[in-house]
């Protein structure tokens, strides 16, 4: 397989060639016109005639066009792929180095430090890609989703990526879904990708943005309405005149942060803005091909005329009245207009002073974002203002970096004292060696990122992170305060005058075209079979995987309760990022962080629990290790939306490795639930949500009747208290018949090994 630095036009034409026939099949089978999401899914069904199409119920097999992996999840994905015994990936696959670069000094210095410090991991990823026919984007090339948007995404396509913000490509009318590594391995080995036929949420956009309002405000507002689990199991489709008024990268911002409402993915229809973006990024041929089938790359006309009959839920948003919003701290759905933040911060005791402003991430680092933010920087300087807080800028890709440097925009930020970091995730994923603040000091930061869980950016629990648009980040950083409303308030300049900040319209695309910058792509050789992939047995960063044991056919009995988490238990709580990114390729070492951030429901303490072997309180990773060594199997209990956030399968592999057999929760986030199933752990939800309260720290848990595990049946769970009393409760599961095979085999990968 040749994997180039762009999606070949032949691949796109092949996808378009089946549209006429398959969409007819879809309309016939559903007995009505189709939304765009339905069209793309139907066109990628493994079996369009017979697949079940009941929303939220049927499981279907899909055939994605591409797979993208980022370095922090790619290591486990490739380690799993390697055990499948194939010579080549069966679907075009790329690996992107973006998560492992730590922000500290400046872009160039930090990149060199990362290349040196991560030599072993980059060497592994580069060689494994060359060996198995995948494309490799070297460190410095940019954030996976920005690079995918610039090079690989195409209207009407379907891809999966081992990162929860893969839906970014929905900005180019693609169905792009975030998955765990084991899902990616299915597709890379030539198997279809299995998912529940989604529900559909329609967001009808009217009007047009103006002033300080930005595309980011659309998703900040949607997160407010739908909350962090309101999109679970659904694809969010944006439509209406307002949708057509947004730039392609603005659409991508909105789809990107759809991950924060738990949506399977989000997307917009193909339109002129997308065509302009494709042409500007050197893909005229893709735009021409899309133009030729444009009627297939938007919903059928009946959908916009009468949306109520097509969507499970509809939200109306008028962009003309949308005000700038800001969400946080600690959760991305705690939203309010910027103008109201000051009063709320005062009430809640959040520090009003802004200690840092950060612009970038896969969500907001497009050319347009940067031009709008730079216009504010220029305006501030011209009016005699400076930034009151440190400002950090991370360009989304090498192409964006080179272009904004050429166009003088980096200079605008630097004139305001900003630091320009490497083209990478950086502070968005805790890769921020923050020098200007100590742990334990309450402080507030504003970012244009998407997530704001505690410790996410600088590793400090005392940092309050607020997410907002790049425009609002600029304004609040210049003002140095949270209680500043850029649309209405004034600032005092160096001459003592009261001045008002203004924001320019920005440039959707660079008028001189993009500058590709440095070449950072490595194509695989035509024949990679002689490439050696080295995993040293003494490495502390990479470890060859041993298969998990198959199910022995017996009920799972007498599990100890390792952890009962209360409140939010995101993947950042289960397997923290930041310094732990170091061990993403070494299952045993990374298990040193398992459930480290979970709040113990019995004690309210973070990260510690009862070790039932001796009654002592210990850190969860240590108890897990001790149970593992003693052969004690265990269960983890979670609250609502367990495993919210990232796609990282480490949050499932670590518990599995250390002896978890079952995870019980009030509800799960989609990717985490699938990751648990894939690794052979039983995810169960309380049929009666209050049964969560029944479980005590010294109880023993048994899951019974597993030989009869089947779709639409419940699992009986017996809770045995220390005095021997038992309570039986019913638990639900979402296994499809195929997925039950994963459980029986011990993991989905064990099945692939049997089949390849």
The catalytic residues are: 98-99, 163, 451, 646, 648
Q: Quick one: which of 450, 520, 600, 747 contacts ligand SF4 (CB under 6 A)? A: 450
Instruction: Give the Cα separation of 491 and 237 in Å (integer).
Output: 40
**Judged by CB under 6 A, does residue 362 bind ligand SF4?**
yes
Count of CB atoms within 10 A of residue 167's CB? 29
Min dist. Cβ of residue 128 to ligand SF4 (A) = 20
Q: Which stretch binds ligand SF4 (CB under 6 A): 423-431, 613-621, 648-656, 681-689?
A: 423-431
Q: Quick one: which of 138, 165, 196, 564 contacts ligand SF4 (CB under 6 A)? A: 165
Instruction: Give the Cα separation of 287 and 152 in Å (integer).
Output: 13
Partner in contact with 23, chosen from ligand MIC, ligand SF4, none, beta carbon below 5 to 8 Å by kind: none
Nearest Cα to Cα of residue 65 among 356, 286, 284: 286
Partner in contact with 645, chosen from ligand MIC, ligand SF4, none, beta carbon below 5 to 8 Å by kind: ligand MIC
Instruction: Give the Cα separation of 722 and 412 in Å (integer).
Output: 66
Of 163 and 471, nearer to ligand SF4 (C-beta) is 163
- Using CB under 6 A as the binding criterion, the count of chain residues that bind ligand SF4 stands at 11
3 within 8 A of 523, measured Cβ to Cβ: yes
**Judged by CB under 6 A, does residue 429 bind ligand SF4?**
yes
Per DSSP, the chain holds a count of helices (H) and strands (E) of 26, 30
Beta partners for 610? 617
Of 80 and 750, nearer to ligand MIC (C-beta) is 80
Q: What is the footprint of ligand SF4 within residues 663-722 (CB under 6 A)? A: none
Taking phi over 0 as left and psi of -120 to 50 as alpha, with beta for the rest, 643 belongs to left
Min dist. Cβ of residue 425 to ligand SF4 (A) = 3
Of 38 and 649, nearer to ligand MIC (C-beta) is 649
**Judged by CB under 6 A, does residue 220 bind ligand SF4?**
no
**Judged by CB under 6 A, does residue 163 bind ligand SF4?**
yes
**Judged by CB under 6 A, does residue 143 bind ligand SF4?**
yes
Nearest Cα to Cα of residue 98 among 395, 512, 322: 395
Burial degree of 6 (CB within 10 A; 0-12, 13-18, 19+) = middle
Of 36 and 259, nearer to ligand SF4 (C-beta) is 259
Q: Which stretch binds ligand SF4 (CB under 6 A): 48-56, 424-432, 609-617, 632-640?
A: 424-432
Cβ neighbors of 217 (< 8 A, separation 6 or more) are 209, 322, 323, 324, 325, 469
Partner in contact with 138, chosen from ligand SF4, ligand MIC, none, beta carbon below 5 to 8 Å by kind: none
Min dist. Cβ of residue 577 to ligand MIC (A) = 6
**Judged by CB under 6 A, does residue 465 bind ligand SF4?**
no
Instruction: Give the Cα separation of 263 and 341 in Å (integer).
Output: 27
Q: What is the footprint of ligand SF4 within residues 531-570 (CB under 6 A)? A: none
36 within 8 A of 176, measured Cβ to Cβ: no
Terminal-residue alpha carbon distance, the chain: 18
Partner in contact with 222, chosen from ligand SF4, ligand MIC, none, beta carbon below 5 to 8 Å by kind: none
Of 97 and 404, nearer to ligand SF4 (C-beta) is 97
Min dist. Cβ of residue 733 to ligand SF4 (A) = 29
Of 202 and 430, nearer to ligand MIC (C-beta) is 430
Instruction: Count Cα atoms within 13 angstroms, Cβ side, for 490.
Output: 9
Sign of CA dihedral 568, 571, 577, 580: positive
Of 99 and 464, nearer to ligand SF4 (C-beta) is 99
Of 217 and 649, nearer to ligand MIC (C-beta) is 649
Alpha helix locations (H) across 34-99?
A: 36-43, 71-82
Instruction: Give the Cα separation of 181 and 81 in Å (integer).
Output: 9
At residue 73, what are phi and psi to the nearest 5 degrees? -105, -20
What six digits make up the tokens of 59?
Answer: 């499981």
Instruction: Give the Cα separation of 150 and 144 in Å (integer).
Output: 10
Of 447 and 750, nearer to ligand SF4 (C-beta) is 447
**Judged by CB under 6 A, does residue 467 bind ligand SF4?**
no
Min dist. Cβ of residue 259 to ligand MIC (A) = 7
Of 226 and 252, nearer to ligand SF4 (C-beta) is 252
Of 365 and 702, nearer to ligand MIC (C-beta) is 365
Cβ neighbors of 749 (< 8 A, separation 6 or more) are 80, 83, 84, 182, 185, 547, 678
Min dist. Cβ of residue 333 to ligand MIC (A) = 16
Q: Quick one: which of 428, 563, 599, 682 contacts ligand SF4 (CB under 6 A)? A: 428
Min dist. Cβ of residue 492 to ligand SF4 (A) = 35
Partner in contact with 73, chosen from ligand MIC, ligand SF4, none, beta carbon below 5 to 8 Å by kind: ligand MIC
Of 120 and 555, nearer to ligand MIC (C-beta) is 120
Residue whose structure tokens are 């799960």: 668
Partner in contact with 648, chosen from ligand SF4, ligand MIC, none, beta carbon below 5 to 8 Å by kind: ligand MIC
Nearest Cα to Cα of residue 18 among 46, 36, 43: 43
Written as one string, the DSSP assignment of 261-305 is GTBSEEE----HHHHHHHHHTT-HHHHHHHHHTGGGSS--HHHHH
Min dist. Cβ of residue 333 to ligand SF4 (A) = 16
Min dist. Cβ of residue 281 to ligand SF4 (A) = 19
- Produce one character per residue of 635-662: b if its CB has 16 or more CB atoms within 10 Å, e if not: bbbbbbbbbbbbbbbbbbbbbbbbbbbb
**Judged by CB under 6 A, does residue 96 bind ligand SF4?**
no
Q: Which stretch binds ligand SF4 (CB under 6 A): 425-433, 488-496, 558-566, 588-596?
A: 425-433
3-state secondary structure of 445: strand
Min dist. Cβ of residue 73 to ligand MIC (A) = 5
Alpha helix locations (H) across 409-454?
A: 409-415
What six digits make up the tokens of 650?
Answer: 């480490």
Min dist. Cβ of residue 271 to ligand MIC (A) = 28
Contacts to ligand MIC by CB under 6 A: 72-73, 99, 163-165, 178, 429, 451, 577, 645-648
Partner in contact with 143, chosen from ligand SF4, ligand MIC, none, beta carbon below 5 to 8 Å by kind: ligand SF4
Partner in contact with 361, chosen from ligand MIC, ligand SF4, none, beta carbon below 5 to 8 Å by kind: ligand SF4
Strand positions, DSSP E, 411-541:
419-420, 443-447, 463-468, 491-492, 498-499, 521-522
Q: Quick one: which of 222, 267, 425, 623 contacts ligand SF4 (CB under 6 A)? A: 425
Partner in contact with 325, chosen from ligand MIC, ligand SF4, none, beta carbon below 5 to 8 Å by kind: none
Strand positions, DSSP E, 500-615:
521-522, 556-564, 608-611
Nearest Cα to Cα of residue 672 among 80, 88, 227, 178: 178
Of 165 and 221, nearer to ligand SF4 (C-beta) is 165
**Judged by CB under 6 A, does residue 176 bind ligand SF4?**
no
Beta partners for 481? 353
Cβ neighbors of 69 (< 8 A, separation 6 or more) are 77, 78, 93, 94, 95, 96, 144, 161, 162, 181, 184
Q: Which stretch binds ligand SF4 (CB under 6 A): 40-48, 289-297, 421-429, 491-499?
A: 421-429
Partner in contact with 647, chosen from ligand SF4, ligand MIC, none, beta carbon below 5 to 8 Å by kind: ligand MIC
Min dist. Cβ of residue 259 to ligand SF4 (A) = 8
Min dist. Cβ of residue 424 to ligand MIC (A) = 11
Residues in contact with ligand SF4 by CB under 6 A are 99, 143, 163, 165, 361-362, 425, 428-429, 449-450
């Amino acid at each position: 397989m040749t994997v180039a630095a762009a999606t070949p036009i032949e691949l796109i034409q092949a996808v378009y060639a089946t549209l006429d026939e398959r969409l007819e099949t879809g309309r016939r089978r559903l007995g009505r016109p189709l939304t765009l999401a339905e069209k793309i899914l139907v066109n990628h069904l493994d079996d369009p005639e017979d697949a079940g199409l009941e929303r939220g119920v049927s499981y279907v097999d899909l055939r994605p066009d591409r797979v993208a992996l980022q370095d922090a999840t790619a290591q486990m994905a490739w380690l799993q792929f390697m055990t499948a015994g194939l010579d080549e990936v069966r679907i075009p696959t790329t690996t992107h180095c973006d998560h492992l670069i730590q922000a500290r000094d400046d872009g160039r210095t930090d990149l060199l430090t990362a290349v040196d410090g991560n030599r072993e991991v980059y060497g592994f990823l580069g060689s494994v890609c060359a060996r198995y026919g995948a494309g490799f984007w070297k460190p410095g090339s940019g954030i996976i989703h920005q690079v995918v948007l610039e090079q690989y995404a195409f209207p009407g396509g379907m891809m999966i990526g081992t990162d929860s913000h893969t839906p970014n490509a929905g900005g180019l009318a693609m169905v792009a879904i975030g998955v765990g590594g084991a899902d990616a391995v299915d597709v890379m080995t030539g198997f279809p990708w299995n998912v529940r036929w989604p529900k559909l949420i329609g967001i009808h956009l009217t009007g047009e943005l103006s002033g300080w309002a930005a595309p980011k405000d659309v998703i900040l507002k949607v997160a407010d309405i739908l909350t962090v689990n309101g999109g679970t199991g659904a694809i969010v489709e944006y439509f209406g005149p307002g949708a057509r008024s947004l730039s392609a990268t603005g659409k991508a911002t909105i789809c990107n942060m759809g991950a924060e409402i738990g949506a399977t993915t989000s997307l917009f229809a193909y339109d002129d803005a997308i065509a302009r973006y494709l042409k500007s990024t050197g893909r005229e041929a893709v735009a021409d091909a899309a133009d030729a089938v444009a009627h297939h790359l938007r919903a059928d006309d009946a959908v916009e005329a009468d949306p109520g009959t097509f969507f499970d839920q509809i939200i109306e948003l008028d962009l003309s009245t949308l005000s700038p919003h800001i969400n946080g701290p600690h959760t991305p759905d705690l939203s309010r207009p910027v103008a109201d933040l000051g009063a709320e911060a005062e009430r809640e005791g959040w520090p009003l002073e802004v200690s840092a402003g950060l612009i970038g991430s896969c969500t907001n680092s497009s050319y347009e974002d940067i031009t709008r933010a730079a216009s504010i920087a220029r305006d501030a300087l011209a009016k005699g203002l400076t930034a009151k807080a440190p400002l950090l800028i991370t360009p989304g890709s090498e192409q964006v970096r080179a272009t904004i440097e050429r166009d003088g925009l980096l200079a605008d930020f630097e004139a305001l004292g900003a630091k320009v970091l490497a083209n990478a995730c950086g502070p968005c994923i805790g890769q921020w060696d923050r020098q200007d603040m100590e742990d334990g000091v309450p402080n507030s930061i504003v970012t244009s990122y998407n997530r704001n869980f505690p410790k996410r950016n600088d590793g400090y629990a005392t940092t309050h992170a607020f997410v907002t648009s790049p425009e609002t980040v600029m304004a609040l950083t210049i003002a140095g305060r949270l209680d500043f409303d850029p649309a209405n308030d004034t600032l005092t300049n160096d001459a003592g005058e009261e001045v008002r900040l203004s924001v320019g319209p920005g440039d959707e695309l660079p008028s001189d075209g993009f500058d590709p910058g440095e070449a950072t792509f490595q194509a695989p050789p035509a024949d990679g079979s002689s490439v050696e992939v080295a995993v040293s047995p003494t490495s502390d960063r990479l470890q060859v995987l041993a298969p998990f044991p198959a199910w022995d056919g017996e009920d799972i009995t007498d599990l100890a309760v390792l952890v009962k988490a209360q409140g939010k238990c995101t993947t950042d709580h289960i397997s923290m990022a930041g310094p732990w990114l170091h061990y993403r390729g070494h299952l045993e070492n990374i298990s040193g962080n398992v459930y480290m951030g979970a709040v113990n429901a019995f004690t309210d303490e973070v990260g510690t629990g009862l070790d039932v072997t001796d009654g002592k309180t210990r850190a969860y990773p240590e108890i897990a290790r001790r149970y593992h060594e003693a052969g004690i199997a265990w269960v983890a209990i979670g609250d609502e939306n367990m495993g919210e956030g990232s796609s990282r399968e480490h949050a499932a592999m670590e518990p599995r490795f250390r002896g978890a057999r079952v995870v019980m929760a009030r509800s799960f986030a989609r990717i985490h639930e699938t990751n648990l199933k894939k690794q052979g752990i039983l995810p169960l939800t309380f049929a009666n949500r209050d049964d969560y309260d029944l479980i005590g720290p010294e109880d023993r848990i048994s899951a019974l009747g597993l030989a009869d595990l089947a779709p639409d049946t419940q699992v009986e769970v017996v809770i045995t208290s220390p005095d021997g009393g038992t309570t039986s409760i019913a638990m639900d599961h979402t296994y499809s018949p195929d997925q039950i095979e994963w459980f029986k085999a011990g993991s989905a990968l064990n099945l692939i090994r049997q089949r390849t």
